Structure formats: C-alpha cells, structure tokens
Structure 1
Amino acid sequence: MNIFDFAMQMEKDGEEYYREIARKTKDRGIETIMNMLAEEEVKHYQILLEMKTRTPKVPETKILANVKNIFAEMKERHEEPSPDQPQIEMYKKARELEKKSQDFYEEKSGVVETEEQKEILLKLADEEKRHFHIIENIITFVSRPHTWLENAEFKHLEDY
C-alpha cells in the first residue's frame, strides 16, 4: 500500500469515526461540529485521490469560523453539554487520531517525489492540527461548561 492509499484509508476511517460520534452525542452543537469534521475528512480524501494522478488544488477551509459560531449559538441558547464520560473518551480518541494524522502527513512530506506533493501534505498536516485544537476545545467544553462558556470571546479557538 503506497502512502496515498494509506492516507486515503486514514481519512475514510476518520470520517466514519466522526459520523459515529455525531450519532452518539447528546449535544446538537457538538453533533454539528462532528459532522463538519467528517466533511473535512471527505475533502482530504478527495485531495489525496487527486494526488495519486495529478496535483490537486487544496480548498480553503472555514471550519474554525463555523465552529466558533456554533459554540456562540450554544451559549445564546444556554445549552450546556453533559460531561458524559463515554462521550469524553470518544472525543479524546478523536483528538489522538488527529494528532497521529498530523504526524503522518508531516513525516510523509519528507519522502514524496515532488515539491507540490510535499506542500499539499504539509497543508493537510496543518488541517489536522486545526482539527486537533477543535476537539481539544470540545473536551474542555464538555468537561467544564460553566468556566468555558464564561469567555464570550472564545479565545479557546485561536486561529492555528
């Protein structure tokens, strides 16, 4: 299996995992975020599929802005997530998977054949880093909803 096939499978697995979390979560906002992350994984899959045959265009992502809006809406509705331990463990696993994906793309960027492929893999690594931070914020949010929601500026979601 070449690195593109492996990476494509990794993205497919990530999409399926986020959709599973979305189905199992009790919080509408977090469900929306998990579905957004799943869609990001679909985009990554398409980029990798194109890389196998030619150099793809990497689309810009607006996921951080959308996630901030969802958290703001949850705050306005006074929704507080339940610190359900099995859900938190799912989020922690998702965070771990994003870190592994980031590390994989960074490592493989050093062994691809072209500079364009290297650049694309590094962009994917940056995307995975953003996803890691989004999930990290979800973990904090569900673990400590009162203190997390007190910050109206949502500094927790810095633009990485």
Structure 2
Amino acid sequence: MNTVEFAIKMEHDGEKYYRGLAEENKDNSLNAVFLLLADDEKDHAALLKKELDKVNYELGDNEALANTDNVFKNKGDFKKRFKEIPKQLDAYRMALQMEKDSIELYEKLFEESTEAQIKKLFGYLVKQEENHYNIFANLITLVERPEEWVEDAEFGIREEY
C-alpha cells in the first residue's frame, strides 16, 4: 500500500467514524456537524483517489467550519443541552487525535512530495484537516466549559487559557 492509498483508507475510516457520531447525535445540532465532517472526509478520499488514478481534479474552497458556526447560532439553551453531551467527550477527543494524526501525515507527505500537483493536494488536505481539528478543539472546550460559552455559543477563534 503506497502513501496515497493509505491516506484514502484513513479518510474512509474518518468518514465512518463521523457518520457513527452523527447517528449518536441524531437528536441534536451536532448531527449536522458530524455529517458535514463525514462528507468532507468522503470528498478528501475522492480527491486522493483521483490523484492515485491520475485523473484531473480541482481543489475548491471548503465551507465546513463556517457551516458549523451556523449550526450553533440561535439554538436555545446551550447550558442544558451540553450538560447531556459530556459522556461523549472521549469520542470528541478521539476525533481530535484522528485529525491531528491526519495533519501530521499530510504535512509529512507534503514535505516529501516532489510533484507540484500532489504537493498542492497535500497542502490543501493539511488545511482541511486543520479546520476539522479546530472544530473538535472548540467542541471539547464547549463541552468542558459550557458556562463560558453560553452567551455566544458558536464556534470560532477562542482565546487560549
């Protein structure tokens, strides 16, 4: 298995994981977030498959992070809602680690690449996975410290503690 095939498998594994989390959250706003992430991972696998098959493709903008912001706007009583979710905190931490591993792999592949097109693809995937990482980092903070986020419970850049 070459590195691109490995990356395709990793993206499929991520899609499966996020679809499982979406199912676990089908009764709340997080369902939409996990479905967006699953679709992103599916799209990443498709891009990698096109690269593997030497088929032309374009790298487009991804709105997943902006769309997750919208999911959490005006959604009622966050304090109550997120007190029910902490049992899933381990799943979010696992997803965060998966995204970190993806970033590290794509950074390594980016550095090792000599072909301009594949280097561009891996650079693009690094940015995509960084967006996913930020979603989970913010979600973990939201679950761990809901009182601090209730006033403005949307995802975005947060100050470090």
User: TM-score with structure 2 length normalisation?
Assistant: 0.87
Give 2:126's aligned residue. 125
CA distance in 2, matches of 1:111, 1:157: 32
CA distance in 2, matches of 1:110, 1:65: 28
Measure how far apart 1:62 and its partner are: 0.8
Give 1:24's aligned residue. 24
CA contact (8 A) 2:18 2:37 kept: yes
Percent sequence identity over aligned pairs = 31
CA distance in 1, matches of 2:27, 2:82: 6
Task: Report the number of matched residues.
Answer: 154
Structure 2: segments with no counterpart, 5+ residues: none
CA contact (8 A) 2:12 2:41 kept: yes
CA distance in 2, matches of 1:106, 1:86: 32
Partner SS state of residue 109, structure 1:
helix
Q: Which runs of 4+ in 1 moved over 4 A?
A: none
Give 1:78's aligned residue. 77
Aligned 1:1-160 pairs, distance under 5 A: 1-25=1-25, 28-52=28-52, 53-74=54-75, 77-79=76-78, 80-82=81-83, 84-151=85-152, 154=154, 157-158=156-157
Give the RMSD, CA atoms, in angstroms: 1.7
Residues 150 and 27 of structure 1: CA distance in aligned 2, closer, same or farther (over 3 Å): farther
